[in-house]
Amino acid sequence: MSDPKAEAARRRTFAIISHPDAGKTTLTEKFLLYGGALNKEAGSVKAKGSRRSATSDWMELEQQRGISITSTVLQFPYRDCVVNLLDTPGHRDFSEDTYRVLAAADAAVMVLDAAKGIEPQTLKLFEVCRERNLPLLTFINKWDRPGLDALELIDSIETQIGVTPTPMTWPVGISGDFRGVIDRTSGDFVRFTRTARGATEAPEEVVDAARAEAEEGEAWTTAEGEVELLSEVGADHDQETFLGGITSPTFFGSALTNFGVRLLLDTLVDIVPSPRPREGTNGTIREIDAPFSGYVFKVQANMDPSHRDRIAFFRVMSGKFERGMNVTHQPTGKPFNTKYAHTVSGQDRTTIDEAFPGDIVGLVNAADIRIGDTVFVGDDVEFQRIPPFAPEHFSVVRTTDAGRFKQFRKGISQLDEEGVVQVLRSIDSGDQAPVLAAVGPMQFEVAVHRLENEFGAPVELAPTSYRIARRTNKESAPELRSMQGVDVLFRSDGTALALFESPYWLARIEGEQPELMLERLVAEGGAG
């Protein structure tokens, strides 16, 4: 079968977002187990150490810091569907990357640790999801261990993220004394059975309500009472509000012991929307069965240090992609051959011969391709670009070895193109000492590490006192530049950013000179 419409209808493309250590990796691996993509008897497949050993130098940084920056894509069949699972970096400093990945997803799963709930550092990642109005599912993980009260967790999701949880399952027994869940759709009790570290699929014993009450006693009646309460306040699944990002179907479980994973995966396949036609910037809709088009959401240096190429990842938006086809690169109008199309998961690359809407394809050595670009066949189309985030940290970068300036310059422009950091230049200092701008300081660590190790350009960073940025224009720039505590710098796309030392200073200038253009940027933090 290779009809794009029929293939698209069976695609489910979603991202997993979570705070580091909430259990994203474990859950992902359990999805693969249920999808049959892993040997069911292989024991725990989670071998972080060995899996990460063959990685490039900048992945060493991930290892040291216990974070993931190089997110990947996994594809596996489940039931009669094809699941595309996009990984996202699990740290708020990389929320801009998460935002870009979400542009390629049709839904997201938020994984929370039952003992921690929503952690302040992660709030931004979830807000980013809200901002895109993406359908959001919630998995409250580690219920096999002591944790917070279920109603309290539900409440904090609602108040902190502004999305209303609609529990699909409800825990019987408090966290740490987990008996199982009530499946709210059927009213049955699904009993929790421990498996040896979840090496095999969890045996699920489904028990009817009468027997559950007899066997579980008070734990059951308490849970039943809470479920009634949820129904009274209308916390029931509604497909329309879910699709609008207003309600979030919520699950309780334990990824480590596999419990609740199948229910989650089944629901994902049932309710996550298949790829829908998207609108181009000229207002026309690119139908799913129109000729091929794709949207580049990520550009990344290769993870293999032995060949330093880079990969542009696009999501198929319409039509059938066939490797080797000639596509047009929309911004330049140039033809581009797709002979080197791959699917990439972790270090593994496999040639991909065809792909359908919702699938992710990596193009190797696509030198001219940038984040936000459209590639297509047939009628011209351009999909909306992802706006860069509001940076909150600004540091001047210089190379400490003048003999390596060429490498320094190359590295800076590469990091800029990949969106690792934003690179800002002033009219006077230009390429010698650009300003690196970031949402979170860990982005600087990655930039410095890569400049030194990948490009051989040792650098020093000098933090500036700027804290907040606004978009401005040519007309306002000279006046702003003449002010104390303000600077105007330019991004490589030509956008002028006015930088301020504090929100108070900015507010004062806005109040005194309302004629100056000072526009807010996307996903601004508390400072704005």
- Whole-angstrom distance, CA of residue 195 vs CA of residue 27: 15
Which of 144, 224, 373, 454 is the binder for ligand G4P (CB under 6 A)?
144
Could you say which of 35, 90, 249, 357 contacts ligand G4P (CB under 6 A)?
90
Distance CA 22, CA 104 (A): 23
Separation of alpha carbons 155 and 159, rounded Å: 6
Among 20, 273, 305, 503, binds ligand G4P (CB under 6 A): 20
138 binds ligand G4P (CB under 6 A): no
153 binds ligand G4P (CB under 6 A): no
256 touching ligand G4P, by CB under 6 A: yes
**CA 346, 68, 16 angle in degrees (round to 5)?**
80
Could you say which of 65, 116, 130, 145 contacts ligand G4P (CB under 6 A)? Answer: 145
| Distance (Å, whole) CA 7 – CA 331 | 28
Rounded to the nearest whole angstrom, what is the least distance from the CB of residue 38 to ligand G4P in the complex?
A: 15
Q: Which of residues 193-232 bind ligand G4P (CB under 6 A)?
A: none
CB of 53 to ligand G4P, least distance (A): 15
Residue 234's contacts (CB-CB under 8 Å, 6 or more residues apart) are none
- Judged by CB under 6 A, the residue of 10, 24, 298, 450 near ligand G4P is 24
Sheet holding 107-113, edge to edge: 73-78, 81-87, 11-18, 107-113, 136-141, 247-252, 164-167
Q: Is 330 one of the binding residues for ligand G4P (CB under 6 A)? A: no
> Based on CB atoms, which residue is closest to ligand G4P, 141 or 274?
141
| Closer of 91 and 467 to ligand G4P (Cβ) | 91
Q: Would you count residue 30 as binding ligand G4P (CB under 6 A)?
A: no
**Stretch binding ligand G4P (CB under 6 A), from 13-21, 224-232, 385-393, 501-509:** 13-21
Provide, rounded to whole angstroms, the least separation between the CB of residue 180 and ligand G4P.
Answer: 14
Here the tokens at position 217 are 């006693």
d(CA 310, CA 97): 16
In whole angstroms, the minimum distance from the beta carbon of 358 to ligand G4P comes to: 24
Give the residue, chosen from 9, 21, 426, 524, that forms a contact with ligand G4P under the rule CB under 6 A: 21
In the complex, what is the shortest distance from the CB of residue 90 to ligand G4P, in angstroms, rounded to a whole number? Answer: 5
Q: C-beta of 258: minimal distance to ligand G4P in Å?
A: 9
Nearest CA among 324, 316, 328, 329 for reference residue 341: 324
CA distance 305 to 275: 35
Of 487-506, binders to ligand G4P (CB under 6 A) are none
Contact flag: residue 273 with ligand G4P (CB under 6 A): no
Residue 13 lies near ligand G4P (rule: CB under 6 A): no
- 525 backbone dihedrals φ, ψ, rounded to 5°: -80, -165
141 binds ligand G4P (CB under 6 A): yes
Q: Of 4, 13, 14, 18, which one interacts with ligand G4P (CB under 6 A)?
A: 18
CB of 255 to ligand G4P, least distance (A): 4
Total number of residues shown for the chain: 528
* Near ligand G4P in 337-366, by CB under 6 A: none
Residue 18 or 75 with smaller CB distance to ligand G4P:
18
Residue found under tokens 């800076």: 412
Q: Is 255 in the site for ligand G4P (CB under 6 A)?
A: yes
Q: How far apart are the first and last CA of the chain?
A: 51
For ligand G4P, which is the closer residue by CB, 5 or 46? 46
Local structure of residue 237 (DSSP, 8 states): -
Contact 144, 178 (CB under 8 A): yes
Report DSSP state, residue 347: T
Contact between 84 and ligand G4P by CB under 6 A: the answer reads no
Whether 104 contacts 360, CB under 8 Å: yes
Stretch of 127-135, 249-257, 375-383, 507-515 contacting ligand G4P, by CB under 6 A: 249-257
Eight-state DSSP code of residue 93: G
Among 11, 100, 142, 467, binds ligand G4P (CB under 6 A): 142
What stretches of 240-390 adopt beta strand conformation (E)? 247-252, 278-279, 285-286, 293-301, 310-318, 321-322, 326-329, 334-337, 341-345, 348-351, 354-355, 360-364, 374-376
**46 contacts ligand G4P (rule: CB under 6 A):** yes
CA dist 373 → 177, 279, 310, 324, 382 (Å): 51, 14, 16, 19, 8
| Shortest Cβ 25–ligand G4P spacing (Å) | 3
Q: Which residues contact ligand G4P (rule: CB under 6 A)? A: 18, 20-26, 46, 48, 90, 141-142, 144-145, 254-256
